[in-house]
């Protein structure tokens, strides 16, 4: 077995979700889940098929985001993983809906941070062991940090 690291390639501020599912129907069901939950959201979705022709299957409503999703899925090439790259919204707008799609087994991360995907590769294929999401923790927040956190959440409309 070989351990590999695959860096997610995306614009710095772009949010995405990385998960694992179990069936080719994933692409259509996740697409429907996103548009029915957050119709204004722009997204690109890619899914690594794990048998048969073993293709990257894709969908979405924005060509740029679809291309980013396809390229990252091909770089990862781990069976049954999916990626959703989004604009005009945040992962939390769709995360619970995605987790409730029947084919979805797990979500590894939902973030705009730099991400490295830890891959195990054997003769059979590839699997995701986990992710490195962002940077190492630098300390504990102080009073100014608490105020900045609360102000930020209100600025982007998630708290009032």
User: Is the model's pLDDT at 159 over the cut of 90?
Assistant: no
62 neighbors 87 (Cβ within 8 angstroms): yes
CB atoms within 10 A of CB 150: 11
User: Is the model's pLDDT at 158 over the cut of 90?
Assistant: no
Measured at the CA of 26, the angle between CA 24 and CA 29, to 5 degrees, comes to 130
- CA count, 13 A, side-chain hemisphere, 7: 7
What is the arithmetic mean of pLDDT over 33-42? 96
> Any idea how long the chain is?
160
- What digits encode the pLDDT tens for the residues 124-154? 999 999 999 999 999 999 999 999 999 998 9
Confidence band (pLDDT; 50, 70, 90) for 24? confident
- What digits encode the pLDDT tens for the residues 54-93? 999 999 999 999 999 999 999 999 989 999 999 999 999 9
pTM summary value: 0.92
Q: Exposed/middle/buried for 30, CB within 10 Å: 0-12, 13-18, 19+?
A: buried
- Quote the CA–CA distance of 143 and 151 in Å, as a whole number: 12
Residue partners of 73: CB distance under 8 A and separation at least 6: 46, 47, 48, 56, 58, 81, 82, 83
User: Which domains, ranges and CATH numbers included, belong to the chain?
Assistant: 2-155 (3.40.1520.10)
Measured at the CA of 118, the angle between CA 101 and CA 44, to 5 degrees, comes to 40
């Amino acid at each position: 077995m070989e351990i590999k690291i695959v860096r997610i390639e995306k614009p710095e501020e772009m949010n995405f979700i990385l998960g694992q599912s179990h069936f080719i129907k994933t692409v259509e069901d996740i697409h429907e889940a996103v548009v029915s939950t957050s119709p204004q959201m722009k997204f690109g979705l890619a899914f690594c098929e794990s048998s048969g022709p073993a293709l990257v299957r894709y969908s979405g409503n924005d060509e740029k985001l679809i291309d980013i999703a396809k390229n990252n899925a091909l770089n990862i090439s781990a069976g049954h993983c999916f990626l959703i790259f989004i604009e005009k919204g945040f992962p939390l707008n769709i995360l619970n809906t995605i987790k409730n799609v029947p084919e979805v087994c797990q979500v590894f991360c939902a973030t705009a941070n730099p991400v490295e995907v830890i891959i195990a590769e054997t003769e059979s294929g590839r699997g995701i062991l986990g992710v490195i999401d962002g940077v190492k923790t630098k300390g504990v927040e102080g009073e100014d940090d608490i105020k900045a956190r609360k102000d930020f959440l209100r600025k982007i409309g998630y708290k009032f």
